[in-house]
Amino acid sequence: MELVKVKDKKTAKEFLMLPVHLYKNEEHWIRPLDDDINKIFDREKNKYFRHGDLIRWILKDGNGQTIGRVAAFVDERTARKDNDQPTGGMGYFECINDKKAAFMLFDACKNWLAERGMEAMDGPINFGDRDKWWGLLVKGFDKDPNYTCNYNFPYYRELFESYGFKTYFEQFTYGRKVMEPISPRLMEKADRIFKNPKYSFRHIRLKEIDKFTEYFHEIYNKAWASHKGVPKLPLSMAKHLMKQMKPIIDEKIMWFGFYEDKPIAFFIMLPEVNQIFKHVNGKMNLVGKLKFLYHKWRKTNKKMFGTIFGIVPEHQGKGVDGAIVESVRRRVQGDYTRYEDFEMNWIGDFNLRMIHLVEQVGGDRVKIHKTYRYLFDRTKPFKRMPFIGSKKEKAKAENATTEDKNNNGNEKSTN
């Protein structure tokens, strides 16, 4: 086998096309848009190159056939933030079911990162925002992946864990029918907030998207940027994200909360566009765009998904979560019944409060992704991502994790 650095159009195309060949018989795999993958590795289009670097490889067998691929990268903003050691990343991994091949790819990442001062690597993750291409799918192979979410073969888990990767945290996707009821407890919290005239909730207006972008930027940095491994979001990046979302935004399912007219919360939901993109085969050329417009016009997508939820710290624990969810419920179960299914994406197992909220909204864990960490010093004790929540919630979660390890002799899911 030969490891080949991606350095020209030919090797870049082989990198892009490998999953097309690997998953050609997989019913639920949806080909990502070529442009979405290519721009990750474009130094002009991916802003993460401003504070990081990346390399990628393909792996060929003795017959010259591409049988694997991977990328390694360093984000200088997060490599040392809240980590016990400088930590890089690896991702975009695809490989045949062969440990020797997989381990060659993992070794390449480890060696490249070590040369740059890293002492651990997380993977599979994105050289970009956390809401895209993050984590290895370990449950939910019978369901279509959401847009820019990883879908992989079940055997990948064995490849990662045999090499020595351990679970740093898990990401849960919850699913439910839109018309199912939500928890009475959540509605009680909402009613308490609604009685306070200083609070208000409303969905966005596209004609005011610049103003709502500023709201998003302000809330995000207060609610999320203080979390471990989450960098602050520049306003320029917030504008870029909103510009990317604008063509698919449905005003009535993207909500914000206010206190005395100041932004304090958001619940960002979008139509699940992979239900449209699965018809374009990765190509947003003229034919692809016509297919996209046709399915958007016909409203063939009946699933919405939550991308991110945030409340500024000073208004957490007061019932704002219930109020914004109830505001959405009244609309999507009332006079706007376009959607049948709902999935809430990327709930970290460390975020105990968010898990509690989502379970009150209702639904099951329909998908689980794992973010792994590999320590280069194999004698160093491994630590999972710290839990976020009350002391009681943290103690319960930590006990469950300890029991799983003791009962099974290995790292197991906490669910």
Sorted by where each begins, the domain ranges of the chain are 2-170+371-408, 179-339
Dump pLDDT digits (tens) for 367-377: 999 999 999 99
Mean pLDDT of 378-392: 85
Peptide bond into 19 cis (omega under 30): no
CATH architecture for the domain at 179-339: 3-Layer(aba) Sandwich (3.40)
Judged on CB neighbours under 10 Å (0-12, 13-18, 19+), 43 is exposed
pLDDT, residue 408, reads: 42
Mean pLDDT of 95-111: 98
Asked, colleague to colleague, whether 2-170+371-408 and 179-339 share their fold, the answer is yes
- On average, the pLDDT of the chain sits at 90
Q: How far apart are CA 11 and CA 13, in angstroms?
A: 5
Mean pLDDT of 104-126: 98
CATH architecture for the domain at 2-170+371-408: 3-Layer(aba) Sandwich (3.40)
* 253 pLDDT higher than 70: yes
pLDDT, residue 259, reads: 96
* 409 pLDDT higher than 90: no
* 29: amino acid identity, one letter: W
398 confidence band (pLDDT: 50, 70, 90): low
pLDDT, residue 185, reads: 86
pLDDT, residue 404, reads: 52
* 399 pLDDT higher than 80: no
Dump pLDDT digits (tens) for 291-328: 888 888 778 889 998 888 899 999 988 999 999 999 99
